[in-house]
């Protein structure tokens, strides 16, 4: 199952990009034998200043046809890392070939797009900068593959 991180905004070189690249490389390596990956980041911008609706349109264009759609959203459900791994494995085992995980811009995800997702996950009650959410998501993807592979990386 291919994983697409569809995010608003461009991430320039720096520590966040280095961390994302590292975790996604690890995910690709460990997920391959599990039927997970590769993972790619698709960045969209709202160049016209249209706000959440314009961002939602750009995100919709980035989502592969027929993909399972998940949102990273403060209103989402807080789940454990093993539960996230199980969620991914469930979609993979059901024969789904693509998983798109969307991260909105500074104002979040438009209500229309938020209502269209298959699931919504929160990294806690606090609001996180969307660039840090990318890092945390990349790490959780690697952690999910590690959990499914029985690796000692996850020590819960």
Is 154 within a domain?
Answer: no
pTM of the model: 0.94
Residue 156 is predicted with a pLDDT of 66
What does pLDDT average to in each consecutive run of 10 residues of the chain (156 residues)? 96 93 97 96 83 91 96 94 98 98 91 96 89 96 97 80
Helix/strand/coil for 80: coil
Within a domain: 122: yes
CATH number at residue 43: 3.40.1280.10
pLDDT, tens digit, 9 for 90 and up, residues 60-99: 999 999 999 999 999 999 999 999 999 999 999 999 999 9
Per-residue buried b or exposed e for 7-30, using 16+ beta carbons within 10 Å of the residue's own CB:
bbbebeeeebeebbeebbebbbeb
């Amino acid at each position: 199952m291919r994983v697409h991180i569809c995010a608003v905004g461009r991430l320039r070189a720096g520590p966040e990009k280095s961390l994302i690249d590292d975790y996604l490389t690890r995910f690709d390596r460990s997920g391959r034998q599990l039927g997970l990956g590769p993972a790619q980041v698709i960045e969209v911008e709202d160049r016209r200043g249209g706000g959440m609706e314009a961002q939602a349109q750009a995100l919709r264009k980035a989502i592969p046809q027929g993909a399972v759609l998940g949102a990273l959203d403060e209103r989402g459900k807080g789940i454990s890392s093993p539960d996230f791994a199980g969620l991914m494995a469930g979609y993979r085992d059901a024969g789904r070939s693509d998983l798109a995980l969307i991260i909105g811009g500074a104002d979040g995800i438009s209500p229309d797009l938020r209502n269209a997702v298959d699931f919504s996950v929160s990294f806690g009650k606090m609001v996180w900068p969307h660039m840090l959410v990318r890092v945390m998501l990349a790490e959780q993807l690697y952690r999910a593959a590690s959990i499914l592979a029985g690796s000692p990386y996850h020590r819960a």
